Structure 1
Amino acid sequence: MTYEQLELTQQTRALSWANHTLSQAETQMARNVASLPFVFKHVALMPDVHLGKGALVGSVVATKDALIPAAIGVDIGCGMCAIQMPFKSAKLDGKLKQIRQDIESRIPVGFNENNEADKQVLNWQGWQDFKHLHNGVSHLAGKAMRQMGSLGGGNHFIEVCIDETDSVWLMLHSGSRNIGNMLAQRHMSTGRELARMAGERLPDRDLAYFVEGTEEFAAYWRDLQWAQAYAKYNRDVMMARFKAIVERHAVGGKPTKPVLSVNCHHNYAEKEVHYGEEVYVTRKGAVRAQENDYGIIPGSMGAKSYIVKGKGCAESYCSCSHGAGRRLSRSKAKKTYTLDDLVQQTEGVECRKDEGILDEIPAAYKPIEQVMANQNDLVEVVATLKQVVCVKG
């Protein structure tokens, strides 16, 4: 699909890969972001775009000399990790329930955390820089260590999947846990206070920003990069535990070498070159899809997921969607569907089937097949996955 051009302001446009007309609230949120004077060229909206806080989830914003924390979000560095295992699904026959139970006993989910940090966690080089982070999180060092290697809640998940060649894949979705959230909240609060003191009239108070060259910008950029690294390593720690569990059941605990490994953020910011200029690119619910970049686009817990390779589309700032995108809010999903609906829609998947995850029912999400069809100019599909085990936060 080619994009649709939306005229939001006289200066800045939005290019949308969604196959639907944005709601009034979504259009206004895109217009708010596009109206900021430092936004570069245009805003790119991915096929799974939907309402967020301050900025749309599924939006890509390039800026010159400024950063908007809300255009990244509070779960800094949230993203996906997947590995293709060197064996077929027959190795898992009759073992799926035990694998799920072992994952749940080994990897904390929801608000739970590890009792103590293990050797892999303690060896992370990032701890050396913790003392340089925002002074409002100095008391959270112990919690950050214990949460390293934990999943979190909401739409975070761990899955065993099978692809179209019958190969086994391990996949998980998580971010920077409480420490990333706390860092983001503190910097957003600082940005709002700066705007208030300057008497600046923002289209949305959540779009407070930092200007390059200021102390506040430097502090946010430092903490942002740290939290992104924390999130990536958090996924590595969980994947190592996850892989060992599956290997114990599938091949008697013998370590194996993955055929392919992918670990990518979808809530983050980096310096990149686009249209010949160096800019800050913030992706909120979007994955980098430069030419030959590997990415992961998951569906809901009852639908297909995709391993993809980027095509380097300039108009999208070399980006693609990060998933199916929600169709219903969590509260609306709980009011609309029953436990029987959840059981029916997750048939064939070894997972929890209780009201605690009713807000994650597959029908609460957009059809992933349509989302993929809308971005065939952004990515090519490398593998199509279907989960057989799903552990939710």
Structure 2
Amino acid sequence: MKQKKIKKGRPNLTGKLTAQDLVKLGFPSGKPTGTALNIIHTYFTELPRLHQIELLQDVLAAPDQYQLHATLAPLAQAILHRKESAPISLNETKLPYTIYGAEGIEQGALSQMDIAMQLPVTQGGALMPDAHQGYGLPVGGVLATHHAVIPYGVGVDIGCRMSMSIFAINTSYLEANRDKLIKMLTDSTRFGNNAFKKPMDHEIMSRPEFSEIPVVRELKERAYMQLGSSGGGNHFVEFGEVELHGADNEFGLKPGSYLAILSHSGSRRLGANIAGYYTKVAMDACPLPQEAKHLAWLGLDTEAGQEYWLAMNLAGDYASACHHQIHERLAAKLGEAPLARIENHHNFAWKEKDATGKEVIVHRKGATPAGKGVMGIIPGTMATPGFIVRGKGEIASLNSASHGAGRTMSRTQAIKTLSQHEMSDYLKQANVALIGAGLDEAPRAYKDIHQVMAYQKDLVEVVGTFYPKIVRMNEDKKYVEVD
């Protein structure tokens, strides 16, 4: 009864078979995977692991031939039933949702949000003024669901966040010590594939999820090696000037100007691998029409849903730990402890209450939490202001605001359209020194942050303004100096 083997991925050939191993073999998640593990661990424990794998591959390749088998019939039936399952239908009509700054949002993002509002689990939604097309939920999309979490509704870079430290240092220090600060950034930060040879220890690495969740366990060593580093792309660490407005703020600081560090990064490969793995699990367990397939969800009453929730929170806390180490290194170089720190996720899912008091899962994929009194940071570009904001708790926005300016050009379009000379001139006019970054991150590739803030004046109150002065991005150590 031997059949041609199905080989997808390379499971470990030692130790006890796990659900993750079966996914690599091409097994659909859900009941087939659980049934396979139960049968193997009950009836075939004496077989070598390689023979267990071959047996399961045989059933997967030809389940119809095992329907009457004494022990393998339940597995064959689970696989056949899974293959016959019809896609889950979308609702015929979409739920209404609020769009902020609609005139500046591309049709692709609007179409993606429309589809998200037709999911059977959707309870509400909103689209932020910095929105643009992504995978599944658009970047800048906010979606509330009932008892379900959508991995691509959170995003690939789980827990991507902003973090700011404010110091009692006169802003004249920025200009007088520009070369010194540039060296601090190049010496004390790592981006993209670069990492520290000796990462700093952190309690996050002792979390039980690293041993209890198989997919996370395999990522622990890589996560440790990337501690305290930043991603590539639009992630950055920068020195700048903060202007605090008004006499009353949560930090107990007087209005005026302060030196500040602002960083933007996420959970590195840890979050990306968690997102990739559980997205595949969700798509296997929750077949949707082609146009909605990246919006597949995991029920929070399922093992996979519970695992993803734990792994997502771990990735968010890991991202926070990386930011803390970035700021600790730079604060040590400055020889000052920060007066205040502000930080917030903008790729995450939260358990919150809707207007009726019902618990919903609020996905913010590129959106800043803006519940009443909640503090957050909305950055501009490398040469335009960012803002410290206080949420107003607007129900129509699901207590959310934009996570930045939002792109007007794709990375490819920006590289083809813009020039290095133009970007250099822009930075000089803004008095900004840039370490790294290419044309794909040029300020002109983004929307006007002032217009974006105007669109969401009902969502947040501006407490302070941040002006970048020395910006570190990507892996390149070259920098564009100003006159």
Q: TM-score if structure 1 supplies the norm length?
A: 0.90
Is 1:219 aligned with 2:307?
yes
- Tell me the SS of whatever aligns to 1:55: coil
Name the CA distance, whole Å, in 2 between partners of 1:239 and 1:173: 11
Q: Residues 262-301 of structure 1 correspond to what in structure 2 (within 5 A)? A: 262-275=342-355, 276-301=357-382
The equivalent residue for 1:4 is: none
Kept in 2, the 8 Å contact 1:26–1:50? The answer is: yes
* 1:233 aligns to 2:321 (yes or no): yes
SS at match of 2:103: coil
How many matched pairs? 369
Other-structure match for 1:379 = 460
Of 68, 81, 86, the match for 2:150 = 68
Instruction: Verify the 8 A CA contact 1:9 1:34 in the aligned structure 2.
Output: no
1:202 and 1:208 in contact (8 A); partners too = no
Q: Unpaired segments of 5 or more residues in structure 2?
A: 1-90, 244-255, 475-483
Residue of structure 1 equivalent to 2:282: 191
Matches within 5 A, 1:235-254: 235-245=323-333, 247=334, 253=335
Asked if the contact 1:162–1:388 (Cα under 8 Å) also holds between the matched residues in 2, the reply is: yes
- Counterpart residue identity of residue 389, structure 1: I
The question of 1:139 aligning with 2:218 is answered yes
1:126, 1:226 within 8 Å by CA — same for their partners in 2? no
Out of 228, 237, 261, the residue aligned to residue 341 of structure 2 is 261
Contact 2:136 2:295 in 1 (8 A): yes
**Partner Cα distance (1:370, 1:143) in 2:** 40
180-189 or 8-17: which moved more? 8-17
Structure 1 residues 180 and 212: alpha-carbon distance in aligned structure 2, compared to 1, 3 A threshold? same
- Displacement of 1:139 in angstroms is 3.1
1:183-213 C-alpha deviation (Å, 9 max, x unpaired): 11000011112235xxx43532211111221
> How far apart, in 2, do the equivalents of 1:167 and 1:22 lie?
34
**What SS does the corresponding residue of 1:151 show, helix, strand or coil?**
coil
Q: Percent identity?
A: 33
Say whether the 8 Å CA contact 2:407–2:445 is kept in structure 1.
yes
Distance in structure 1 (CA, Å) of the matches to 2:320 and 2:449: 25
The answer (yes or no) to whether the contact 1:126–1:230 under 8 Å persists in 2 is: no
Following the alignment from structure 1 to structure 2, what is the Cα–Cα distance between the partners of residues 64 and 102? 47
Structure 2 residue aligned with 1:162? 241
> Take 1:230 and 1:114, find their aligned partners in 2: how far apart are those partners?
16
Aligned residue in 1 for 2:413: 332
Greater per-residue strand proportion? 1
| CA distance in structure 2 between the partners assigned to 1:21 and 1:300 by the alignment | 17
Q: Give the equivalent residue in structure 2 for 1:13.
A: 96
Q: Which runs of 4+ in 1 moved over 4 A?
A: none
Offset of residue 236 of structure 1: 1.0
Q: Does 1:319 align with 2:414?
A: no
User: How far off its partner does 1:163 sit?
Assistant: 2.7
Task: Decide which moves more: 140-149 or 178-187.
Answer: 140-149
- Tell me by how many angstroms 1:117 deviates: 2.4
1: CA distance, partners of 2:234 / 2:341? 22
Alignment match of 1:45 (pick from 87, 110, 127): 127
> 2:384 aligns to what?
303
**Which structure 1 segments of 5+ residues have no match?**
1-7, 248-252
Look up the match of 2:164: 82
Letter in 1 for 2:351: K
TM-score under structure 2 length normalisation: 0.73
- Report the secondary structure of 2:286's partner residue: helix
- The match for 2:64 is none
Residue type of the partner of 2:228?
Answer: G
Q: Select the structure with the greater relative contact order (CA < 8 A; seq sep ≥ 6).
A: 1
Q: What is the RMSD of the two structures over their aligned residues, measured on CA atoms?
A: 1.7
> What are the superposed Cα offsets for residues 9-52 of structure 1, whole Å, 9 maximum, x if unpaired?
63501210124164332222111111101111x31011101111
Q: Is the 8 A contact 1:19 1:374 kept in 2?
A: no
CA deviations 1:209-242 (Å, max 9, x no partner) are 1122111111111111111111111111111112
**d(CA) in 2 for partners of 1:195, 1:274:** 25
Amino acid at match of 2:445: A
